[in-house]
Amino acid sequence: MHTSLKDYTAELTYQSSGLSIAEVLALLARTFPGQVTFSTSFSFEDQVVAHEIFSNSLPIKVFTLDTGRLFAETYSVWNSTNTKYESNVKAYYPNNEALEEFVLQNGPNAFYESVEHRKKCCFIRKVEPLKRALQGNAVWITGLRAEHSPDRNNLAVFEWDESNQVIKYNPILNWTTEAVRRFIDDNNVPYNPLHDKGFVSIGCAPCTRAIRPGEDFRAGRWWWEDASKKECGLHVHS
């Protein structure tokens, strides 16, 4: 099944040509009933995709990764999203035993001490829960944008995710920041107020800061590390 599913990536690219995002989402839901899921962190980008799913009442599962270290503002927009769309975003949490052992051995802020500790923390809090969330699904929808990271410039709207054995759909990959903001405003979509304070890529509170004028989009994530290491492992690019 994995081979045929992988081969379907090119077919979806062809079938979706000229369709709106909502039409592509509906196509995916029809083609893979019960096997299409969207991961949201309640960022600007993810709220655009969530609006398309919820406002069109599409049968697509929506989940988030609650790492236990998110900003209070993230929980607020999560709640306001559920209220506006009468939705129930499912949360996936870290394995409690793995997290308890990691914190016991290394302390609650070990991610500042080394890249190894930070990546282990990301794995426990995000990567492993993501793998659980994606199990049994054929399509993983994301809010990735090429503008956010040099590593994403070569991505395609439809791609095969070898690590998770799913088709990945990145509907707003080539949108500009201005286009995202315009969509949010025009559709009165709830959004994280941290975006108005210079936060671009919003993750865990201890690992995210606002960026300064002229800084790269990813400068606010793991700012104490070398720029070349700034991915958490959720999106593995071949």
Distance CA 151, CA 11 (A): 25
Query: Are the C-beta atoms of residues 187 and 51 closer than 8 Å to each other?
Result: yes
Which residue of the set 121, 122, 204, 232 is catalytic? 232
For the chain, the distance separating the N- and C-terminal CA atoms, rounded to the nearest angstrom, is 21
Helices (H), 32-91: 44-55, 72-85
Q: What are phi and psi of 64, to 5 degrees?
A: -135, 160
Active site (annotated) includes residue 232: yes
The residues near 185 (Cβ < 8 Å, ≥ 6 apart) are none
DSSP string, 136-173: T-SEEE----GGG-GGGTT--SEEEETTTTEEEE-TTT
Of all helices (H) and strands (E), which one includes residue 120? Answer: helix 115-122
User: Which are the catalytic amino acids?
Assistant: 232
